């Protein structure tokens, strides 16, 4: 449970950076940021694997670059599901997903990978 909370905090940091750096992503309240990070974790755990499977041909043809579009779609889905989180357009979602991914990657380097328990 502690690892999930840590990963959600890292995702919240990535979302906060995305809201600070991009004009097209904004969150109304700080509590919405925490809920968005939790919801993004749930969406990435439940829906993203199915979407990746369905879009596998595109991912193979683009040598994996289509995964950026999938990540942007997951961020957009969270914004649709959560009142108080707004993503203006596709490019903002793409850049926001890239920022969240980079922050999560750095967090994994610091605290260890997802499946590894200490």
pLDDT in tens, 28-81: 999 999 999 999 989 998 999 999 999 999 999 999 999 999 999 999 999 999
Q: Does the structure show a pLDDT above 70 at 110?
A: yes
Q: What is the pLDDT of residue 4?
A: 78
Judge whether 117 lies within some domain: no
Cβ distance 58 to 52 under 8 Å? no
pLDDT band at 7 (very low <50, low <70, confident <90, very high): confident
Please, what is the average pLDDT of the chain?
91
Helix (H) or strand (E) holding 85: strand 85-87
Judge whether 118 lies within some domain: no
Q: What is the pLDDT of residue 115?
A: 54
Q: What is the pLDDT of residue 5?
A: 83
Start-to-end Cα distance in the chain = 13
* Radius of gyration for the alpha carbons in the chain, expressed in angstroms and rounded: 14
pTM score, whole prediction: 0.87
Cβ distance 95 to 75 under 8 Å? no
Tell me phi and psi for residue 20, to 5 degrees.
-75, -35
Judge whether 116 lies within some domain: no
pLDDT band at 113 (very low <50, low <70, confident <90, very high): low
Judge whether 102 lies within some domain: yes
Judge whether 55 lies within some domain: yes
Judge whether 29 lies within some domain: yes
Judge whether 36 lies within some domain: yes
Domain range spanning residue 89?
2-111
- Counting the structural domains of the chain, the total is 1
Judge whether 67 lies within some domain: yes
Comparing CA positions, the residue from 34, 15, 5, 28 lying closest to residue 75 is: 15
């Amino acid at each position: 449970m502690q690892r999930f909370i840590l990963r959600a905090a890292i995702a919240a940091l990535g979302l906060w950076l995305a809201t600070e750096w991009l004009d097209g992503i904004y969150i109304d309240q700080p509590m919405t940021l925490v809920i968005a990070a939790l919801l993004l974790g749930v969406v990435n755990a439940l829906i993203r694997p199915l979407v990746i499977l369905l879009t596998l041909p595109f991912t193979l043809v683009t040598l994996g670059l289509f995964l950026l579009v999938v990540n942007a779609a997951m961020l957009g889905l969270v914004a649709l599901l959560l009142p108080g989180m707004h993503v203006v357009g596709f490019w903002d979602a793409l850049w926001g997903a890239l920022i969240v991914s980079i922050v999560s990657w750095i967090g994994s380097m610091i605290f260890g990978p997802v499946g590894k328990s200490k």
